[in-house]
Amino acid sequence: MQFTTLVLFALATAASVHGAPVHKRIAQVIADSTTKWEAACDAAGGGTQCNQVAVASFGTLLAAPGPCEQQDAADNMIDLAKTLSNNADMITLAQIFAQQPRNSPTSQSVPYCQSAPRNAELNGLFQCQFQGDKLTTFVGGIAVGGSGTIPFGMSAPVNPAGSCPANPTGPIADGTQLVDLTQNPGVGSTTASNKTTGGSNSTSTVATSSAIPSSGSSSDSDCGEDPTESTPTASPTMAASIAAVASATPSSTSGNFKLANGQDAQKLNAQFATLTATSLCTEGTNACIDSAFAQCVGGTYVTQSCGSGLICAALPLVNSAGTSITCTTNADALARIAATGAQGGLTG
């Protein structure tokens, strides 16, 4: 099993001399949220799809993604489970993932999704909050009762505040993984159903974003860095080159997409080698910086170390045109690219 170990730290922001309240970021090792699901997927024969879905899913626990992206990710996890003989373990773990607390940039509760899930197995599920979150105020300063503060399908605030079906007694300790506390998602039987609610427009296809530097910037960063302390820079030539790789349609015929995939992965890896943590980027895009997995948050990259012996790399997809960005061993990355017929190692 391959996975990334992404460490995001809770950072306290000092109070001002005028006595402003102290705010802190509440975060977690987000990769831990899908480790058990990925292991179950591997055991069920999911192959390379397991790591791709796992990486795409745990990224939704960052502060930047929208309120429904975690639920959409859980839907994707269940979609894959249903292609693997309705694997019950994968479905149970996806239900628990859907309830994992998300990172809070301001020690406030994180808003709930306001649309129905695609799979009936996720009906009635919503994320817990961390104990350090302010349970009476949601991100953006929204008081309980306001938009996004009551889970979809409910008419009253969550009680106890901060709880979820898998942990009905209240919020969980900061940085804790719900899957380490319980194997019961709180919804009874986890037998797979072919029913869908039709509430989500997302698909089960995992689309991995590539790095596309932009000129935008923001004050939000999951690493807690103050963007005013340094000025991110990016070369227009570099931005155009990466954008071209990210958006290019494979030039070869469908019968030879594997070679195109390998060459596109090499181009991305070559471009990643020119990036730094201060490179500008487009919100939500992923990249590799100094062998670490990176996600764009607030216009700059949040870098998150891969596990021991692993590197971040763009890899060619096997069964369709495209690439993915994930953590793997250097030997595995080289082997996958070489298997496509592309010459020149990681960067061509």
Instruction: Please list the pLDDT of the chain residue by residue as tens digits (348 residues).
Output: 444 334 333 333 333 333 444 445 677 888 889 999 999 999 999 998 998 899 889 888 988 788 999 999 999 999 999 999 999 999 999 999 999 999 988 889 999 999 999 999 999 999 999 999 999 999 989 999 999 999 999 999 999 999 999 999 999 999 999 999 999 999 854 444 444 444 433 333 333 333 333 323 232 333 333 222 222 333 333 443 444 444 344 444 445 788 999 999 999 999 999 999 889 998 878 899 998 888 888 888 888 777 778 888 998 887 778 888 878 889 889 999 999 999 999 999
Question: Do the bridges between strand 292-297 and strand 300-304 make them parallel or antiparallel, or are there none, so unpaired?
Answer: antiparallel
Bridge partners of 328, per DSSP, are: 311
Query: What's residue 271's pLDDT?
Result: 93
Q: Quick one: tokens of 204?
A: 């089960």
* Single pTM value for the model: 0.60
Query: What's residue 24's pLDDT?
Result: 58
Q: Distance (Å, rounded) from C-alpha 187 to C-alpha 178?
A: 15
Helix runs in the chain, H state only = 32-44, 48-58, 69-83, 88-97, 178-181, 236-247, 257-272, 330-339
Q: Distance (Å, rounded) from C-alpha 74 to C-alpha 60?
A: 10
Contact 69, 112 (CB under 8 A): no
Q: Distance (Å, rounded) from C-alpha 103 to C-alpha 33?
A: 12
Question: What are the tens digits of pLDDT across the range 140-169?
Answer: 899 999 999 999 999 999 999 999 999 999
Question: What are the tens digits of pLDDT across the range 93-114?
Answer: 999 999 999 998 888 999 999 9
Q: What are phi and psi of 229, to 5 degrees?
A: -85, -15
